[in-house]
Structures are given as structure tokens and as C-alpha cells.
Amino acid sequence: MCANDKMNIKLNMHQGNNTNRSGLQIYFIRILFVPIVSILETLTNNFGTYANTQLGIRIFKSLAMCALGIFIVRNIESTALPAKWILIPITWIALTLIPIYFNSALINSLGLSSEKTVENRKYIVLCMIFLFPITYLSVLTMDQLGLPLPNLSQINLHHMILWALYQLCYVAVCEEFFFRGYLASILLPCKKHPISNKNWRLNIIYILVSSLLFAVSHIVISESLAGILTFIPGVALAYIFIRTQSIFVTIILHAGANIFYVLSTLLIAR
């Protein structure tokens, strides 16, 4: 029996044991990620040999840094350390700041301009208005697909304000600095901010790669297919980062999305 026949038998056995919901999950993964990989291949094929080689190196570097972060965070998660709630955000921040220590030019890609944040305050308000219904629909989709919703027993509802501050000050900050800011410094190398790069192909590649890594990190760390749905917010945040030139805008929106995510779960689980 050839290797392909064995693989087909295993796939058939696996499919025979799955429920209809798990079949929907697999279908959802395929329709989401396969076209994205195809788009990346098409975009990279349009570059010259030298540019394509450099792009491949940058994408590989992004994958390596993200894999390192996931490895460290997963090991922290598996421990009983009382301070792991702060060690995880510190890990992503460290992976952002250490390369900047050796190459200070990378800081230009982090979008640290407070002026840009003020300029885009109306943009923030507009995004927040649409954020809750979009988040609610995402959670509803998770529920329909049979994906696990967050365990609200881990959140002290009597201290929701403190939890919201944690989302803003730690989770949103560290993830935005790494997945939007640092990955932009790798995938969109330029002397100024990434928005000054007029190459639309590089911008699309940055959005897709950073969003894929964002989703994969959530899937692996949480050990749940629910992390798939973070790809869509990842695309939105990456685009907004390029559009506004401010990491603070995406931090605010990211924290808002996390808070709305829990509120939506409370509404749907009632």
C-alpha cells in the first residue's frame, strides 16, 4: 500500500469519527487559510529574484520570532507561577524591544507618534461604534460552529474594571507592539513609518502574514480552534495601523474588542 493510500485511509477514519460541528470547523479553516496562502504566493511571485529573496528572509524572520514567542508563552502557561499573568505580556514586549536595542532604526516602525493618535480620534470613535456588533457576530459564529467560548469563571465579574484595565495595559499593549509594530519593522523595512512605503504588495503581505501569525499564536497558546477568528480582527488592526500610523490607536481598539468579546459571550450564554 502506497503512502498516499495510507494517508487517505487515515483521513477517512478521522472524518468518520468527527461530528458535524467539527466538520464545519475544518471547512472554516480551509476556506479561510487556503486562499490567503495562494494570495501570498501570487504576490511574492511578482517580485524580482533579489527582492523575492529578501522578502522570504523577512517572512522567515517573522515566523521564527513568533514561534519563539509562542514557545516561551506556552511554557509559562504550563507552570504554576503566580506571576505568569505579567510574564506573558513581558515576553512579547521583550521580543519587540531586544531587536530595537541592537537596531534603533526599528523604533520608527512602531508608530509611537501621539500626534497621529490625536489626529485619528474621530477614526477611533467610528471604529468603536462598529466594533461591538462585529464582535457580537463573531462570538455568535463561534457558538454556531461549536467552537468553545471563553470560560467566564476565570474572570471575576465583581472586578470587571480591573480586568478591563489589564486588557488595555498588558494584553492589548504587548500584542500590538509585537504583531503590528515589530512585524511591520521586519516586513515593511523603511527609514520612516511603514505608511511611507508605497508598495501596496508589501502592505498586503504585511497584513496577511501578521494576521496569520496573530491567529496561529492564539490557536496554539489557547489550544482552541476559537483562535481562528482572531485572524479577522488581525487584518483589521494591521490595516488600521498602516492607515493611522499609530500603535496607540490599535491598542485602544484591541482592548475594546477584548472587552466587547467578553460582553458578547455573556449575552449569548444567557
pTM beyond 0.85? no
Q: Given this model, what pLDDT does residue 85 score?
A: 81
Number of H helices, E strands in the chain: 12, 0
Structural contact between residues 268 and 140, judged by C-beta atoms closer than 8 angstroms: yes
Q: Given this model, what pLDDT does residue 123 score?
A: 83
pLDDT bucket at 109, cuts 50 / 70 / 90: confident
Other CB atoms within 10 Å distance of the CB of residue 103? 9
Q: Given this model, what pLDDT does residue 6 score?
A: 43
What is the length of the chain? 270
pLDDT in tens, 167-221: 777 889 999 999 999 898 888 765 454 455 567 778 888 999 999 999 999 888 8
Q: Given this model, what pLDDT does residue 110 score?
A: 81
DSSP per residue over 219-266, as a string?
Answer: HHHHTSGGGGGGHHHHHHHHHHHHHH--HHHHHHHHHHHHHHHHHHHH
Torsion angle (degrees, nearest 10) of CA 261, 63, 102, 108: -50
* Among candidate residues 90, 72, 51, 269, the one with its CA nearest the CA of residue 171: 90
For the chain, what are the domain ranges?
24-269
Name the DSSP class of 18: S
Is 102 a residue whose pLDDT tops 90? no
Q: Which of 61-70, 96-105, 141-150 has the lowest mean pLDDT?
A: 141-150
Is 250 a residue whose pLDDT tops 70? yes
* Among candidate residues 188, 165, 186, 184, the one with its CA nearest the CA of residue 176: 184
pLDDT bucket at 3, cuts 50 / 70 / 90: very low
Query: Which three three-digit cell numbers place residue 233?
Result: 480582527
* Residue found under cell 490607536: 249
Q: Given this model, what pLDDT does residue 46 score?
A: 55
Q: Given this model, what pLDDT does residue 154 score?
A: 56
